[in-house]
């Protein structure tokens, strides 16, 4: 097994142990699923964050069974998507997720090339993605990025402004974009309990939106250093880069 393949298996073991502690299914998905039926138990998808690593590293991870890949930088990602176009089809199709900040002047190539965008924090960006999503493609799946720790250096909508933004994005044409949930990048914390607090806050925000009439099923939260805390608080997508590909 390749080095990346071995690291993928170790991350999956960590996730399964966290799932066991949380009383959740130990199945780790390598492809983010379509919307869940109401009342369905939460799934857990491993998103391999391949930013700054080349196409061959992605190909190696794919050969080890990984399908969902997260990218931060639009131009770098587009070059990688083109280089790996052959992996779009077949029994293990690649799925591309944008997890970095998105400027409104770069929405068109994202709408045309990606499957998910986790970092929507303004209505204008969501509107442009909806307008520019090609009609022949499935709806682009969206998450709203929340500045859950209130850091000045982080992107994301403040929690107080989230309900209005979520309602507006959910009202966009569902054949072009579909709001799936929330994403956050919590401030690093030293202890497991401190790590859990922002993930819990994000889960509570999602529950509040659903209580208000939305049907969201995705919590994109947790990375290499805090994935256990995220799983314990209900994460459905963990974004793991360093523990799979190594340090940048």
So where are the chain's domains?
Answer: 3-31+42-245
Kindly give the parts of the chain with pLDDT less than 70. 1
DSSP type of residue 221: -
Do residues 178 and 142 lie in contact, with contact meaning Cβ atoms separated by under 8 Å? yes
**pLDDT tens profile 75-100:** 999 999 999 999 998 889 999 999 99
Do residues 222 and 243 lie in contact, with contact meaning Cβ atoms separated by under 8 Å? no
Integer Cα distance of 241 and 163 in angstroms: 30
Contacts of residue 94, Cβ cutoff 8 Å, sequence gap at least 6 = 58, 62, 67, 68, 69, 84, 87, 88
Integer Cα distance of 218 and 196 in angstroms: 17
- Strand-pair partners of 238: 46
pLDDT score of 1: 67
E strand or H helix that includes residue 22: helix 3-22
What is the assigned CATH class of domain 3-31+42-245?
alpha beta
């Amino acid at each position: 097994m390749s080095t990346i393949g071995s690291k993928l298996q170790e991350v999956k073991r960590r996730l399964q142990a966290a799932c066991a502690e949380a009383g959740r299914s130990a199945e780790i998905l390598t492809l983010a699923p379509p919307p869940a039926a109401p009342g369905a138990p939460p799934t857990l998808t491993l998103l391999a964050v391949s930013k700054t690593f080349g196409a061959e590293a992605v190909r190696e991870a794919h050969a080890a069974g990984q399908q969902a890949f997260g990218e931060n930088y639009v131009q770098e990602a587009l070059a990688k998507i083109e280089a790996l176009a052959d992996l779009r089809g077949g029994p293990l199709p690649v799925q591309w997720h944008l997890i970095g900040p998105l400027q409104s002047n770069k929405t068109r190539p994202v709408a045309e090339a990606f499957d998910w965008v986790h970092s929507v924090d303004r209505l204008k960006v969501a509107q442009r993605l909806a307008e520019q999503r090609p009609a022949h493609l499935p709806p682009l799946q969206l998450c709203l990025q929340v500045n859950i720790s209130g850091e000045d250096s982080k992107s994301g909508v403040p929690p107080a402004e989230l309900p209005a933004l979520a309602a507006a994005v959910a009202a966009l044409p569902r054949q072009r974009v579909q709001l799936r949930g929330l994403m956050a990048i919590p401030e690093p914390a030293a202890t497991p309990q401190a790590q859990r607090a922002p993930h819990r806050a994000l889960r509570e925000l999602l529950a509040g939106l659903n209580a208000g009439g939305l049907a969201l099923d995705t919590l994109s939260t947790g990375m290499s250093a805090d994935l256990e805390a995220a799983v314990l608080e209900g994460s459905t997508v963990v974004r793991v880069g360093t523990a799979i590909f190594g340090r940048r």
